[in-house]
Structure 1
């Protein structure tokens, strides 16, 4: 789509063979707007399809459109003010989809206009961020209602930050700016970042495995919760889709348990290896993964290896990618400690983004504590990463 837009005659373009770099901001605005339009259409169409499963007719098309807009804003850090209090919880799977779309838009504009960097690149990112933010505010104005008011300020800030990170990453990557920065950075920065990314992916994958095992161990509880909500196939499919969108959030909660601090679902429910406190929770089938008793489940103890395994993956990746001038096994071990610290920082940011609020009072705090989780992962992954990096580097050097 971006390449097609680049070939169109833009205002002021007299020479078809001229460089389209001066029209890059216009193309960036169009590409960013296309991400919002296509994303809302996709989420809205999915909502409409789910509603068609309801024999009673389900929610009208206008209601499905409002639901899609609210999910779109929540995924970007927005918030809703309901009768029960503020709702601030980003479905991270949808957040990743939005970020991928914005990053692809930035990369497409850079490729179509052949931007080398500098001011043209800044103009593209600025225009894309401004366009995405304005569209988010407009969507918020359209989907707000007396019973569900959109927090416009929070939605604007969240969408701006997400667009800046995603479009900036995509544009810097395809323009070569990112490679230039990494090449000029001192030390093995590139292997270090790759190792941190590998460790984070490992932590999330293991967290999802913990969630899957917990759900498989209580399929009866999942079915009971689904039936207790009543409704027909539309409700079951809708809850399943919502659970899928929240799977990364659940993985972040599992990382919190594995690291030690645990996670909370409101003030009455806390799950950690130090104890379990069960209280009233929302009737979401995904929460069937919670323990059924006050006893700490065996799965929680088994998950304690998660930070160490993620650190081992990070350290091994680092040791394999170090170059000859980067030093021996001792230096690799020190860089492995830093890789573990960065992994802890990434896990802390993940748990921060995965948490939120489901209302006032007893549901005001949902998720794992970011600072405690990040520190715990950094300590465990740093030790494992140092060992793995040193051994891998020693073996590589023979």
Structure 2
């Protein structure tokens, strides 16, 4: 009773533990700023360490910091405009790291300030996104030079979109706003989202296996290309780090290959199950995974199972997570078809995020075509997911 009375406040008295919405917004802005600062410090430190391995001395610290800033901007959808043409290609692994940091910031603010309700969550998201966008613009101004200008508008827009999506996701999850929205939707919607997520993860994992097998099949080409670039330890480590950051991009291209449309590395190189056209490509060791001849490799034909396998996983996941009162096997099959279609949409968006440009002319387009990839995956995965969902549901109902 004493503790209960101690927690009660008199009329007009302010609760010392209560936090106003403006405090949560300020904390969200500070948290978003901390993500940018810590992220830039990490990328900059990695750049400086790589440069110290160069026996010739490498880049000065200021240039290494500028390089880190440009990489940070590219990861958020920004662009550079050197004389060779626009450079717009997001290293998706770094993009995922930035998104994870912003999402964690949103979740931390929600927990610390006990944020609840749509307006309070929106205030947190707006404050964090505004702070992140302002810092992105500042980084763009500092990272640009007359020789390598930065696309300021694209960088600001990319940072804003990424912050809204990442912080919004984290804040909506921990404030239970997302659960409240899902509870108002039909019952199978939640299992449907689980199924699409499982199918997408399966497609990406299988695509990474395809990339790994292709690269392992030509280790001599990788070593020769890496050695020809020079730079001793700095060149080797730098190229390895860059290849790791671009692995999700390579997975997006592999999904395009598996779905049928294939992928391009500029206008001179196109790889698909319908044919291979080889042209000049950038001196990036990861591209040693490309075919060595005009013949379609056997791996390309084997990779065509990826959309169907991802659809089977999505359908099986959907069938297992449906409640007893949701639907029978026939209706589950229809929901499975929808899961496959949404999986195609997710793969198309993934291909869009992994594509870009490495300059003008022959390297203007790099990656898999998003629309064609999404449609092809939706068609193949929709059939597989519908069958898998119907069979799984039928077995679960006994």
TM over 0.5: yes
Q: Alignment partner of 1:271: what SS?
A: strand
Distance 1:186 1:327 in 2: 11
Q: Structure 1, residues 94-142: CA drift from partner, whole Å, max 9, x if none?
A: 0000000000000000000001122221111101111100100000000
Distance 1:347 1:27 in 2: 35
Which residue of the partner structure matches residue 315 of structure 2?
315
Which residue of the partner structure matches residue 191 of structure 1?
191
Which residue of the partner structure matches residue 230 of structure 2?
230
Q: Alignment partner of 1:326: what SS?
A: coil
Distance 2:356 2:53 in 1: 31
Which residue of the partner structure matches residue 3 of structure 1?
none
Which residue of the partner structure matches residue 80 of structure 2?
80
Shift in Å, 1:16 = 4.3
Shift in Å, 1:232 = 0.9
Q: Structure 1, residues 264-303: CA drift from partner, whole Å, max 9, x if none?
A: 0000000000000000000000000000000000000000
Q: Alignment partner of 2:29: what SS?
A: helix
Which residue of the partner structure matches residue 178 of structure 1?
178
Q: Alignment partner of 1:85: what SS?
A: coil
Q: Alignment partner of 1:268: what SS?
A: coil
Where structure 2 has 5 or more consecutive residues not aligned to the other structure, the ranges are 1-13
Distance 1:17 1:358 in 2: 53
Instruction: Tell whether the 8 Å contact from 1:311 to 1:382 is kept in structure 2 after alignment.
Output: yes
Distance 1:275 1:16 in 2: 70
What is the TM-score normalised by the length of structure 1?
0.96
Q: Structure 1, residues 335-364: CA drift from partner, whole Å, max 9, x if none?
A: 000000000000000000000000000100
Instruction: Tell whether the 8 Å contact from 1:275 to 1:295 is kept in structure 2 after alignment.
Output: yes
- Map 1:145-294 to 2 at 5 A: 145-294=145-294
Which residue of the partner structure matches residue 122 of structure 2?
122
Instruction: Tell whether the 8 Å contact from 2:341 to 2:382 is kept in structure 1 after alignment.
Output: yes
Instruction: Tell whether the 8 Å contact from 1:91 to 1:246 is kept in structure 2 after alignment.
Output: yes
Distance 2:271 2:196 in 1: 27
Which residue of the partner structure matches residue 9 of structure 1?
none
Instruction: Tell whether the 8 Å contact from 1:43 to 1:68 is kept in structure 2 after alignment.
Output: yes
Distance 2:323 2:250 in 1: 37
Which residue of the partner structure matches residue 328 of structure 1?
328
Instruction: Tell whether the 8 Å contact from 1:22 to 1:120 is kept in structure 2 after alignment.
Output: no
Instruction: Tell whether the 8 Å contact from 2:21 to 2:123 is kept in structure 1 after alignment.
Output: no
Moved more, 17-26 or 316-325: 17-26
User: Is 1:347–2:347 an aligned residue pair?
Assistant: yes
Q: Alignment partner of 1:264: what SS?
A: strand
Instruction: Tell whether the 8 Å contact from 1:21 to 1:114 is kept in structure 2 after alignment.
Output: no
Distance 1:342 1:280 in 2: 36
Shift in Å, 1:15 = 6.5
Which residue of the partner structure matches residue 95 of structure 1?
95
Distance 1:39 1:58 in 2: 22
Which residue of the partner structure matches residue 8 of structure 1?
none
Where structure 1 has 5 or more consecutive residues not aligned to the other structure, the ranges are 1-13
Shift in Å, 1:20 = 4.9
Distance 1:354 1:235 in 2: 24
Distance 1:114 1:187 in 2: 28
Distance 2:16 2:225 in 1: 62
Root-mean-square deviation (CA, aligned residues, Å) is: 0.9
Aligned residues: 385
What is the TM-score normalised by the length of structure 2?
0.96
Instruction: Tell whether the 8 Å contact from 1:263 to 1:270 is kept in structure 2 after alignment.
Output: yes
Distance 2:307 2:109 in 1: 39
